[in-house]
Structure 1
Amino acid sequence: MDNNTNQPTPQNIMQIGTAFWPSKVLLTAVKFELFTLLASQKSMTGAEIKKALSFQATDRHVYDFLDLLTGLGFLIRDGIWDTAKYSNSVDTDTFLDKNKPSYIGGILEMANDRLFRFWADLDEALLSGKPQNELKHSGKSMFEELYSDSARLKQFIHAMSGISVGNFMALANQFDFSPYKTLCDVGGAAGVLSIQVAKHNPHMSCTTLDLPAVETIAKETIAAQGMSDKVKTGSVDFFTDEFPKADVITMGMILHDWDLENKKMLIKKAYNALPEGGAFIAVEAIIDDERKKNVFGLSMSLNMLIEFGVAFDFTGADFESWVKEAGFKKVTIMPLAGPASAAIAIK
């Protein structure tokens, strides 16, 4: 009999308790655009990287940084110490090179510049129930702060695009758009969802809607993807405007930004804009109904506490109850990329 079966071990406790160490290492590498640099040079020595990035730390600590990135699977190393040549892994070369359209580092840039520090106050958020972001420090909400600074707004928009592009690609391929002709993406940010649906479903006429300051960013993104003739833009204010009529209404990472009252308001506006048989699709990190498996979704819900205080992520069962209350007849949950799903309601 194995006496070690089910014996307690501190391994998971220590791994999770110190997880901010490797997290900050990756976020710092993204901040310094290390992976973009290596993509352009193919491979570099530690000394070359130190010079290129103007590091003033000792050689040993620079090697600690690079070798930890290697141990975590983000870099490939040939040799050791002074003889080592570092290059990107397949994943970092694909997703963390700023010069590639597959770049998803925007969310990591925002995690480093904003969320890392705000999450240090999770304890205060739980005690107070109040946001721990810009609102706490300046008296202005996150969105007020973002919209007052065009550079930060663009970073936020691209961060949302980076975290969602895989989900939108999966939706565009997995959902049957053949019965429909028009799509309106409400809160469409850079227009990535509409771009992906139009690319993979040429018969669809897609429109992405957001506030005027964001519409400018969407136009740039759509043009850069060569999709200006396929995807249109427009402006909308959730709280004052009704949604335009469309066969499909989508919202990508929108519902979780709001409290229950506003979630239901947005769902009802989507219902009113759809024809019979029309589809409302919410792409979110849908939490499993048992609230045990989707750790990312639960973490994102705590992030909504940090950001807004009253906002939260939700389960498929939650979504079904809200949309059926609004009048929708049929609900399905379609798994997408990683921890995300499409919650689909048919009118």
Structure 2
Amino acid sequence: MSALGPDSCALGPHATGKQDAQHLCNNASFASATIYYPTESGLKSLPSVVIVGGWGCGEQAMAAWAPFYASHGIVAMTIGTPSPFTDSPAVRSKALLDASLALQGEHERADSVLRGRLDISRRAVQGYSLGGGGAQLAALADPTLKCVIALAPDGGYMFPSKHSLSFPSPPPTAVPVLILCGDNDEEAPPKKFGWPHYRQTGAAKLIFEVEGGDHYTPLGPAGGTKHQAEAGSMSMELWCVNCSTICACWMCQCPLALWCTPCPCATLNGPTGHAADRAPRGAIGGVALAWLRLFLLDDETARSQLVLRPDIASGFECSGIEAPLAMDRS
């Protein structure tokens, strides 16, 4: 029985607050931001994680993760990018790194709720889908990050090579990487993306493949669903407009239509998988939190949890966590 089961996606002991952070969006790489933080003023030296979504995602698509982390003592900031339907993993990587550095300025800003409360050296990033590819690129670009989390990662191979995820040889070993994915993901199949990314990562690493999980499963700590995500997202009419716009670009023989064509439509913005006292797929949140506890909070007790294969895993492997390797997928 894994220590990280259905109850491990519950909210933590800290009350949380939320603050619009549009004042941080002076850099063109991210267009919106929201900070989630523990409200107790006595909590100091707080680490932080910045979170970005995937193709077509606005920042609220990641809104289930941020209060979960904040309730466990980790400042979390969700961000939205200017062109969510067309930006690549490289664009999302830059957005994550720019936003992470901008967030650290709240430690000194006079009117900030985080003034004097951040540990600016303890930073992490997390991304979903194409944002998961972006998170791994961020790990390659900035060795000062303490760790990254890639949810259902997509390398962005439909984009020009300089905008997609590729690994140098040998890959850097500085930034630990956690990959969370579902074995039934048809949009970013783990055999094509998650597992090859894991095997090419040179740092401490862990991959957790959820049995029966699809592309929506890692959208929140309790396990997201496609129905909930679509319920809070754009209308079908806007989807049709978006598809028509892209198809028109392809008919004009633009091979980079998905990359360079700005999309005027609304974004996929339905949060799903919110923290719960008990959820069948609660180990998703438990493993992600344990990863941040180990590398952001220096909580050594998380090591023994991270090497235990969750009951809902169809595939699970870790390396470089200084503990016996968990069983590889068959």
Which has the larger share of helix? 1
Same fold (TM over 0.5): no
- Higher RCO, 1 or 2 (CA under 8 Å, sep at least 6)? 2
TM-score between both structures, scaled by the size of structure 1: 0.27
Name which one, 1 or 2, has greater alpha-carbon Rg.
1
Which has the larger share of strand? 2
